[in-house]
Structure 1
Amino acid sequence: MLSEHQLLTKFEQVQLPQLNDYLAKRLAKSSAQPVLAQSMTYSVMAGGKRLRPLLILAVVQSAGLVLDDDVLAVAGSLELLHTYSLIHDDLPAMDNDDLRRGMPTNHVKFGAGVATLAGDGLLTLAFDWLSTTSLSAEKRIQLVRALANAAGPAGMIAGQTDDILGVDQNYDLAELKQLHQRKTGALIHYAVEAGCLLTDMSATQKNALLRFADAFGLAFQIFDDINDVVGDETKLGKHLHVDEAQHKNTYPALLGLDGAYAALKTAITTGRQALDELPSDDWKLLASFFSYFDTDGE
């Protein structure tokens, strides 16, 4: 029997090349402006875990459906939107980072103006991809609405704003969870929600999967905060101790490193319990996503 890490690795080995090929081919036709197209493609194809689109693919595959071009378009559109958020997050007016995925950030390579427009282009292109699939009009509207809600001023953008306004303030645990539920968790919630919309699953199944998604999103953020303190810069492809230098609210800052590890374990347990409500053999692939979090170093 495969371990969770092996199961996830096997899934990635099959799906990542297909997803990356799909992204590269469609991006090549994305813009009539060559520098803009180059800037957009630079950040999308710079690598990364592709965690969010892989979650969509995993839900659809676990439900027994074929991963066709429509599913790849939905998954790819989420990666476009996520990449836009990274480009903008790295800008001088935001976090002013010069390294992302082990490469110079978009504004370092292309300038802040072009980088901003590349992010804008990816944001709008994401909705173009969603709206031009061969899915039913009802499904397309549901997906567009769900993504707009997750990424917009009720979701990710609200979380980014909380993050900026929280500098030099001390959020309590409830405020910190709300910040990250929006900033990081909203797109992860959407990834699983999109998979549910594509598969027409029951309300009971969807409820359990969305509780898994929210727990996974929280675990992902806590793990990211921990890595900013004790991670390997070479492996992460970005600078460490950025949150501390910018006086941001994080789980290690609020709870201490041991407390952050404990919160990570609790989030993982909550997510696993949600999946346990589903037929276990059908959803082992989603459980394998928890292998992203290596807590051996605590």
Structure 2
Amino acid sequence: MPELPEVEVIARGLHRSLVGRTMEEACHVDLTRLSDPAASLLPRILGLRIEGVRRRAKVLLMDLSDGTVLAFHLKMTGRVVHGPMREPDSHDRLFLRLDNGTLLSFSDVRKFGYVRAFSPQELQEWQFLQKVGPEPLDTDAKSLAHRIKGRKARIKALLLDQTVVAGIGNIYADESLFRAGIHPETRANRISLARAVRLFTELQAVLGQAIAENGSSIRDYVNADGDAGAFQNSFNVYGKKGSACGVCGSRLEAVCVAGRTSTFCPECQPKRGPKHQPQPSAKDGCRKKGYRP
């Protein structure tokens, strides 16, 4: 699933290329089950000019000229790409022809993603966004640390909880925990405020680096131009169970936390606190059968 950096990269790319463009025609429609029906969606967006593209949590938000907001939730395999006109394939869900003859396309192999249109009031009342926690790049690390203070849940589960902090998924949870030297099964109430601040400082650094490197391409993710990301080349632990830790050489291990594979270094991230502080390294991967990456 695209996480915060991937959706941010897409939003920035679309903003650069789409502002001022008008959506003139829907030339292919095969919407997913959770999307607004075409009969109600298309009349709300066609003929409108795109004023901006932004992100909230893992959702793309496209601001239109009459105040309508077009929302794309990519879920596991969704893509939103701006490029030249082409013929649709079996994974394409919506083709919007723009006033300059280019194509804005939404595709989704697994059909879990969706596209919906909201008025400003409807967007404000959308329960999905009402429940989402603060943006990690717009909130200081100490404030984020206080959101987990005293909680008994395992820290990896809290990082994945969208009501605690927005946009974080398995990749960036694993990578930030490694950099902070914290075992993914550690209970949050066993983590000092100073270590929690460091964790969220490292999380912010990981997210910033991933955005600068165009996100992580594991399977389906591409940016707004259809290009892959590069941050997967900087992974320290994610998907690398059985590989040697780039810091200490220990064999990386994995546990299941909140139903997700959590890869860690038993030496750099011991349950009783770090023996030394890991720093970023890199490379490859493997996945434990039966766990969701």
User: Structure 2 length as normaliser, TM-score?
Assistant: 0.24
User: Greater RCO between the two (CA within 8 Å, min separation 6)?
Assistant: 1
In terms of fraction of residues, the more strand-rich structure is 2
